[in-house]
Amino acid sequence: MTSDQNDDPTPDEVLTNEDDGNNEEFAEMLAASDRAEPSEANPGDKLTGKIIQIDGPDAFIDCGLRNELPMSVLELKDADGEMKYQVGDEVTAYVQKAKDGLKLTLAINLREAGHEALTAAYAAGTPVKGKVGSTNKGGFSVDLDGTRAFCPFSQIDVRRADDPDIFVGQTYQFKILELSEDGRNIVVSRRALLQADRESQANSTRESLTLGDSLEGEITRLVPFGAFVDIGGIEGLVHISQISHQRVGDPSDVLKEGQTVQVKVLEIQNLGQGRSERISLSIKALATDPWPETAASMVPGQDVSGRVTRLVDFGVFVELQPGVEGLIHISELANRRVIHPREVLNEDDEINIRILDVDLDRRRISLSLKQASDYEGE
C-alpha cells in the first residue's frame, strides 16, 4: 500500500467519526430544547407578563410559561372600578395557589392561600392584602384576612398622615416587616411598597425627562416661594413667579395640595444625584399669555378701572386685567408731593386711572391717578 492508502480511514473509523458528529449535534439540539423549555412557576414567585386576553372575570397573562396564568380582572381596576390595564399591557404580579391550579395576584390573599403562606410572604417580601381597622396608640390595626397585624402611622403612606381616619376601612397591600411569636406579632408597612413603586417610577421618569416636556403632576407641598410637584416619582419646583401670568402673593391662594396640574420642564440640574437634583417647572408657560392682546387694546388717554396689587417706594402697581399690570409712578398719585404711596392708596383698592403710555415691547403700561377724569384728590 502507498502512504496515501494507509492514511485512508477504516470503516470502523468512519462510523466512529459519524457517531461523534451525530452525538455533538444531538447534544446541541438537547441543550437548545432545554433552553426553550418554559420554566415552572411556584407560589410566591414574582413574575412580569403581558396581558393577552380579558375574558369575563379573568385576564390571562403570558409570563413565558407553558400556559398563561389567570388573574382577577378586579385587581386590574382602580378604586373607581375603571380598568387600569388593557390587552397588551405588562403587569407584575405574584403567583398564588388556587383551587384549580395557580393564578396571579398583586397581593397574596392569606385566606385563600392558607396561613402557611404568611411565613413565605414574609421571607420573600411578597405583598399581602389587609384591611385597615381602628387606630390605636402609634398606628393602625390591620386585618390580614383573619390574622391581626399592626401598621405604625409612619408606615401607612409616603407622606405624613395628618388625618389617620381617612385610612380606616380601606383595603391595601402591605409588606410584612416583622413576624414573630409564631405569627402573633406582625408588623406591616404600606409605605415600603409605595416607596418601591415610587423609586421604580422615578428611575423611569429620569430616563425620559427632557427640557420642554409638558407633564401632568400632583402638587405635594406648598411653600411661600412656590409649589413642589410630583411628576412621576420625583419632585420639581414651580417657583411662585411661574404659577400664573397674574401676580401671586401666596401659592395657597391659587393652588392646593393634591391638585393635579400641567407643568412644563424649564430646567434640569444634577438629575439622579440625590439632594442636589433640581427640576424647575412652570404652570404659567402652558397658560395663554393675556398680555399681547389685552395690552394692545389699551389706548393712551383712556380711563380704566383696576385693583391695587402692590405698593413700592416709587409707585403703585395696578392690575388692569388678569395677568396685565400697569404702574402709577409716585409723581402721578396726587397733585401734591407724596412721600410714600401708602399716603394715598392701599393694597386691593379699586380705583379709576388714566392710561398714559403703553410699551408693548418692554411690557410696560404707565398710569396716572391724578389725571383720571374723576380724580378729586389734593
The answer to whether residue 65 scores a pLDDT higher than 80 is yes
What topology does CATH give the domain 46-105? OB fold (Dihydrolipoamide Acetyltransferase, E2P) (2.40.50)
Segments making up each domain of the chain, as ranges: 46-105, 115-194, 209-286, 291-368
The answer to whether residue 297 scores a pLDDT higher than 80 is yes
Q: How far apart are CA 108 and CA 75, in angstroms?
A: 12
Pick the residue with more confidence: 342 or 92? Answer: 342
Give pLDDT tens digits for 182-241: 667 899 999 999 998 888 889 989 999 999 999 999 999 999 999 999 999 999 999 999
- CATH homologous superfamily for the domain 115-194: Nucleic acid-binding proteins (2.40.50.140)
Mean pLDDT of 334-359: 93
List, in sequence order, the alpha helices (H) in the chain.
3-7, 11-36, 110-113, 116-124, 191-208, 291-296
Place of cell 415691547: 361
Give pLDDT tens digits for 112-136: 666 677 887 888 888 888 999 988 8
Q: Which residues contact 231 (CB under 8 A, 6 or more apart)?
A: 205, 209, 215, 216, 217, 263, 279, 281
Give pLDDT tens digits for 267-290: 999 998 888 999 999 999 998 888
Place of cell 461523534: 20
- Per-residue confidence (pLDDT) for residue 349, from 0 to 100: 93
CATH 2.40.50.140 fits 209-286, yes or no: yes
CATH 2.40.50.140 fits 291-368, yes or no: yes
Annotate 115-128 with three-state secondary structure: CHHHHHHHHHCCCE
- CA quadruple 91, 94, 97, 98: dihedral positive or negative? negative
Return the DSSP state at 214: E
Q: How far apart are CA 104 and CA 109, in angstroms?
A: 11
Q: Examine domains 46-105 and 115-194 and report if their fold is the same.
A: yes
Q: What is the pTM of this model?
A: 0.61
